[in-house]
Amino acid sequence: MPGDEEVRRLLAGCDETQRLAITTPATPLLVVAGAGSGKTRVLTRRIARRVLDGSAVAAHVLALTFTRRAAGELRARLRALGLADPVAAGTFHALALRELRNIAADRGDRPPVVLDSKTRLLAGLVPPARHDLLATIAAEIDWAKARRIAPEAYPAAATAAGRPSVAGRARVAELFAAYESEKRKRRVLDFDDLLTTLATRIEQDRDVASMQRWRFRHLFVDELQDVSPSQLRLLHAWLGGREDLCAVGDPHQAIYAWSGAEPGVLSSFAEHFPGASVVHLDANYRSSPQVVAVATAALHGPDAARRALVPTTRSDGSVPTITCFTSDADERAGVVAALRRTSRPGRRWSCSAVLARTNAQLAELRRSFDDAGIPSRTGAAGGLLARPEVRSVLARAHDRSNVAAFYALVDDLDLDLRAAGSGQAGTGSEADPEAREALESLAALAHEYRDEDPHPTL
């Protein structure tokens, strides 16, 4: 059979359950992949196996990811596995926008215009004295739309879900309705509208449905636990009752329920997709036995013991410790003390990492490190677009036409990074690792977007 040798190569180094997930002909298929179990390896190799053995065509593969970065990594891995033809890979929102643009172009219609700022539109609906609540109101609207909740149903749904009521639920519902009305007047869509608009077009227009389902015949979904009801609706629309679906997820890594995700889709997968098969990946290849033991103990789900991760690494690691503090200041002092305890001759400070939940906490920690004479750099300080070197690169493309500007931007980024790598002056990143990291992030984003959309704009 053509491709047999390539398939054997794909399976090299895979364990038994990984091989099963890669090779089983079963569809729909759910792969429940615990942390460190080789989720991305299985997903990419299943796609590659399907293409190489002829059971799928690369041009008709749709791979849905949660982030652009994940989409870029997936495409890069597929190229490394020998797939010459690219697959369609991207986030639900990015792919929905692309398809809506394509539909508009095919029919000579006005292309969709995406709202550039939800809070800016809301600012015109909220008194200036309450502008401190704009971000909270915008987040509530995002949650409601992801959950497919109409403005009039928001108060009851928000109460049932225990959502914050700082702005008043009835008032948020009023602003939600006004926000939707203002968008219609301006003829713009927000990101959630992209999903519902495309799903509606597929559901109600036979020609659109036929073209979309002809284009996307083999569907793959990463991080299924982070999919919202709006995204799930679009997934069903794309499938149209067909069964060629493989989804990967882990209920214990569901961290986006606050923004509207529906992690319960994993446990109800067979209800959404009748006849589904399930493969569990339980071997952890990433962490020491000590870390796996702590993680397993922290999982309080009803099946935590039954589906416990199995450590595979042979080397022991240090036992994680938990320390409680009475105040933020005491916590920062404790972190400084812990870093000093790990410091010794020959060990670089860069061997240590400090993670925090918010950028505000990172800023306070960095001040404490400065006071203690501990060198540090913050990889997530502020937004990417706030970085001066990023703004400088974008400014160079400001006066050029859209498509030309985007490709010029990518070329500029590549040149800047090569100059930084060779120590040449010009970007400032050669002496500032944070600047280089920001440029690398922007370059990766630009390359991923260029791969995803053949007609990019800036």
The model's pLDDT over 26-58, given as tens digits with 9 standing for 90+, comes to 999 999 998 899 999 999 999 999 999 999 999
88 and 27 in a common domain: yes
Domain boundary among 188, 213, 243: 188
10 and 92 in a single domain? The answer is yes
Structural domain contains residue 320? no
Task: Say if residue 38 is in the same domain as residue 154.
Answer: no
pLDDT per position as a tens digit, 354-393? 999 888 898 899 999 999 999 998 765 556 666 676 777 6
The mean-pLDDT minimum among 131-145, 329-343, 439-453 falls in 439-453
Query: Is 80 exceeded by the pLDDT of residue 139?
Result: yes
Tell me, yes or no, whether 257 lies in a domain. Answer: yes
Is residue 300 domain-resident? no
Please check whether residue 437 lies inside any domain of the structure: yes
| In a shared domain, residues 81 and 67 | yes
Q: What is the pLDDT of residues 117-133, one digit of tens each?
A: 899 999 999 999 889 89
* 411-424 pLDDT, tens digit each: 666 666 665 554 44
pLDDT category of residue 425 using cuts at 50, 70 and 90: very low
Contacts for 125 with CB less than 8 Å, ≥ 6 apart: 175, 178, 179, 182
217 lies in the same domain as 181: no
Structure tokens at 332: 């920062």
Note whether residue 336 is domain-resident.
yes
The verdict on residue 207 lying in a domain is yes
Say whether both 153 and 277 belong to one domain.
no
Domain final position from 281, 306, 341: 281
d(CA 89, CA 71): 6
pTM of the model: 0.80
Place 305 in a pLDDT band, splitting at 50, 70 and 90.
very low
Q: Do 367 and 424 fall into the same domain?
A: no
Instruction: Average the pLDDT over each of 53-57, 325-329, 427-431 and give the range with the smallest value.
Output: 427-431
- Could you tell me which residues are beta bridge partners of residue 31? 248, 279
pLDDT band at residue 447 under the 50/70/90 scheme: low
pLDDT at 100 over 60: yes
Q: What is the H or E stretch that residue 251 is in?
A: none
The answer to whether residue 255 scores a pLDDT higher than 60 is: yes
Q: Would residue 318 count as lying in a domain?
A: no
* Same domain (yes/no): 183, 199: no
Domain boundary among 281, 309, 341: 281
Residue 309, domain member (yes or no): no
Are 200 and 270 part of one and the same domain? yes
Average pLDDT, stretch 448-456? 58
Is the same domain home to 214 and 360?
Answer: no
CA distance 158 to 139: 12
Could you give the number of structural domains in the chain? 4
- pLDDT for 360: 83
Residue 327, pLDDT > 60, answer yes
Inter-residue contact 458 to 409 (CB < 8 Å): yes
pLDDT over 90 at 346, yes or no: no
Question: Do 165 and 207 have their domain in common?
Answer: no
Q: Long-range contacts: 186-190, Cβ < 8 Å, 24+?
A: 186/115, 186/121, 187/110, 187/113, 188/113, 188/114, 188/115, 189/112, 189/113, 189/114, 189/115, 190/114, 190/115, 190/118, 190/145
Both 59 and 208 in one domain: the answer is yes
Residue 446's domain spans which residues?
Answer: 386-452
Return mean pLDDT, the chain: 86
pLDDT in tens, 179-232: 999 999 999 999 999 999 999 999 999 999 999 999 999 999 999 999 999 999
> CB of 261 within 8 A of CB of 226?
yes
CATH number for 31: 3.40.50.300
Give the C-alpha separation, 97 to 92, whole Å.
9
